[in-house]
Amino acid sequence: MLADGTEFEGELIGADTVASGEVVFNTVMTGYQEVISDPSYAGQIITFTTAHLGNYGVTASDNESRRPFCAGVVIRDLARRRSNWRANEDLDDYLRRCGIPGIAGVDTRRLTRHLRTVGSLPGAFGSDEAEVRAAARTAIGTDGCDLVTAVTTDAPYRYEGVEGVTRRVVAVDCGLKTTILRNLSQIATIEVVPAGTTATEILDRGADGLFISNGPGDPSAVPDLVATVEELLGTLPVFGICMGHQMLGQALGAPTFKLPFGHHGGNHPVRDLTTGKVEITSQNHNYCVDVSGLSGVEVTHVNLNDGTLEGFRCTDIDAFAVQYHPEAGPGPHDSHYLFQRFAELMDNAAATKAGR
């Protein structure tokens, strides 16, 4: 049941608990495990638009975080059996083990069309109708919610770079995905720190660059992190993605606003204005940055579906960001060049510092 009273029926899968959260839809054709285990979905119920899920099961090494943080999963058809030599367990068993409720057999086409019309809505589902109705009435969205605190790491840790890399990066974990670490490790050794780490503590690590990760919730609800990024601007090269993109934007003085139903999927076309090339990107965000009133900022990427901002760079300091997930593989690997751009930014900054 959605907060506006719209109802759908289906069969429960996963954990037998009432799910409550903001209902969004995701248009990926494959990669359901990566989506479910993406911490950026904390507080949200994920509706998959593709009809058939679970056919290749779940593989432990494909998890993007220590556990799923989403509030629930809505699908049309759950596969009766998995068929993949890599799979460790079924999707249903995975959801049960992780405590994530799900509902299958839902008319996800109708649900998606409704959300496209009215926007993302709070909602709930479960086996007890009275409890579900009560939960739907009290369910909340992500506006004003600090969900980063719930998903960030409890303590700093180190992720080694590949042999031969000498750069060091501090990565602020707002909901960091494992695949991001794998990509960053190609250019640097990473020291991952909690989102509450101060600017002084970050500088004391003596890194060559600062990375700000993806994450869930309203970027305006984490002002302390914005203040930390603002304090670090100009002292370290900065690369932000998704929530990191929004943190950098706010640190520069740009406002953020909520999109009607967000960008959630693996097929969003984005034009890189610096090269003219179009990338097919993976996205998961509800909020957008408005840099139109800022000086010293150049728009670098634009979403070709709705014209919204997908990337920018600072012209007077070493900082840039994109709104999408460049580490993902939504079929192609169009966006992996951004990690090399970050490496070049750090190298140029180090050379400039040495020249002084």
Could you list the active site residues? 242, 325, 327
Nearest-angstrom CA–CA distance, 232 and 144: 25
Task: Tell the burial category of 16 from Cβ atoms under 10 Å away from its Cβ (0-12, 13-18, 19+).
Answer: exposed
- Cβ count near 355 (within 10 Å): 6
**CB-neighbour burial class of residue 40 (10 A; exposed 0-12, middle 13-18, buried 19+):** buried
- Half-sphere exposure (Cβ direction) of 276: Cα atoms closer than 13 Å: 0
Other C-beta atoms lying within 10 Å of the C-beta of residue 271: 17
Residues 6+ apart with CB under 8 A from 5: none
DSSP notation for 233-290: BTTB-EEEETHHHHHHHHHTT--EEEEEEEEEEEEEEEEETTT--EEEEEEEEEEEE-
